[in-house]
Amino acid sequence: MGCTMETPSLNRLKQIAVFCQVIDNTSMRAAAEKLGMTPPAISQYISQLEKELGVILIYRSTRRISLSEAGERYYRHGKKMLMAAEDAHDAISEIKHSLEGELRISAPVGLASQPLAQALKGLLLKNPELRLTVLASDAGSNLVSEQIDIAIRIGKPESSSFIFHPLGKAARQIYASPEYLQQAGNPVTPEDIAKHRWLGLIGSSDFSAIELNHPGKANYDYNPPYRMRFNDLNALVSHVQEGLGLAVLPALEVQHLVKAGALLKVLPDWHLNTLPLYALTINRKQSYKVKAVLKALKDFFA
């Protein structure tokens, strides 16, 4: 009697897990690849689940699947169940002080290189079973469709339903190459920067207009006429390094170039306003590994 009661219950848990994977991956074929199963086997699980529940969960077509009203409710409760199972696993991981599994992070191109590596180095060395997928893009990313666990952003926080996590402040400064300053002259006053060539980023108000601040002196505002503009920070930095002009750059992303002497601060006694640095997550309740990575990011960027 114990076996007959137990087996359907275990099978139902697997059916729910398969059903949620189909919805998360938007197709049975993709879910099959993720789970290491065949599409017909996935379809059989869903059909059996619908038969036992007596409702249609998924509307199928040749191109896509969509949820019925019952399917939406079942998916919502099924995800809670799967998250509870993950919490149980995380509780054991926490006891072992070890992190494992995959975590997906998106970040602006500049931050995704050396700063992110420095921020997470200790965590990665301590937890060899933790796997990271880093998506570097200055255009941002879709947390839901790209299944992003943590999205790092710079600038004015956008209005969204995602969970906001402040990480710190991002400093900016005007930079140029030593060769350019030797050739064009080093600005001594804010007014001098109007005599120079300027490079900038496309579509970023945070890096276009300049407001220089100095204790005890009036602020200086300037809108550079950009000779060259880029949609990628690394491309912008490379052209500044080649001596093609001045640019406002995020300090953290280019600090290694400053240390190496490849870039120099222009008007180092004047400062630009810092920008908020923050992370977004989809769920208010984070897994143990997401919490650990967020803590590492806060510790580093703060």
CATH code where residue 249 lies? 3.40.190.290
Nearest Cα residue to 131 out of 275, 289, 274? 289
CA distance 286 to 292: 10
Residue 136 maps to which CATH number? 3.40.190.10
**3-class state of residue 249 by DSSP:** strand
Instruction: Report the pLDDT value the prediction gives residue 4, as an integer from 0 to 100.
Output: 39
Indicate if 133 and 186 belong to the same structural domain: no
For residue 98, the 8-state DSSP code is: -
- CA torsion sign for 140, 207, 272, 263 is positive
Residue 183, token pair as written in the block: 């050739």
β 172-176/247-250 pair status: antiparallel
Residue 60 maps to which CATH number? 1.10.10.10
Cβ-in-10-Å burial (0-12, 13-18, 19+) of 48 comes to: middle
Indicate if 141 and 82 belong to the same structural domain: no
Asked whether the predicted pLDDT for residue 205 surpasses 70, the reply is no
Average per-residue pLDDT for the chain: 86
Indicate if 17 and 88 belong to the same structural domain: yes
Instruction: Report the pLDDT value the prediction gives residue 2, as an integer from 0 to 100.
Output: 42
Indicate if 183 and 255 belong to the same structural domain: yes
Residue 133, token pair as written in the block: 């997928």
- CA torsion sign for 44, 47, 51, 53 is positive
Q: Give the CA count within 13 Å in the CB-facing half-sphere of 141.
A: 25
Question: 141-180, pLDDT tens digit by residue?
Answer: 788 878 899 999 988 877 677 889 999 998 999 999 999 9
Q: What is the dihedral of CA 234, 240, 242, 244, to 10 degrees?
A: 130
More confident residue, 27 or 190: 190
Indicate if 48 and 103 belong to the same structural domain: no
As a whole-number percent, the residues of the chain with pLDDT over 70 amount to 91
Question: 78-130, pLDDT tens digit by residue?
Answer: 888 888 777 777 666 655 556 888 899 999 888 888 899 999 999 999 888 89
Asked whether the predicted pLDDT for residue 297 surpasses 90, the reply is yes
Name residue 274's beta-bridge partners. none
Domain count, the chain: 3
Indicate if 32 and 87 belong to the same structural domain: yes
**3-class state of residue 226 by DSSP:** coil
**3-class state of residue 289 by DSSP:** helix
- Residue 143's domain comprises 99-169+276-301
Contact 176, 245 (CB under 8 A): yes
Domain boundary (93, 126, 150) is at 93
Asked whether the predicted pLDDT for residue 59 surpasses 70, the reply is yes
Indicate if 283 and 158 belong to the same structural domain: yes
Domain boundary (51, 69, 93) is at 93
Indicate if 230 and 106 belong to the same structural domain: no
Question: 10-39, pLDDT tens digit by residue?
Answer: 788 888 889 998 888 888 888 888 889 998
**3-class state of residue 173 by DSSP:** strand
Question: 216-269, pLDDT tens digit by residue?
Answer: 889 999 999 999 999 888 899 999 999 999 999 999 889 999 999 999 999 999
Indicate if 264 and 281 belong to the same structural domain: no
Residue that the structure tokens 């001596």 belong to: 243
Domain boundary (32, 63, 93) is at 93
Asked whether the predicted pLDDT for residue 302 surpasses 90, the reply is no
Indicate if 30 and 153 belong to the same structural domain: no
Q: How many other β-carbons are positioned within 10 Å of the β-carbon of residue 119? A: 20
As a whole-number percent, the residues of the chain with pLDDT over 90 amount to 44
CA distance 245 to 73: 57
Instruction: Report the pLDDT value the prediction gives residue 145, as an integer from 0 to 100.
Output: 79
CA distance 175 to 99: 39
β 130-136/264-266 pair status: unpaired
Indicate if 203 and 227 belong to the same structural domain: yes
Indicate if 179 and 53 belong to the same structural domain: no
Contact 181, 264 (CB under 8 A): yes
Contact 188, 220 (CB under 8 A): no
CA distance 235 to 110: 10
Instruction: Report the pLDDT value the prediction gives residue 97, as an integer from 0 to 100.
Output: 54
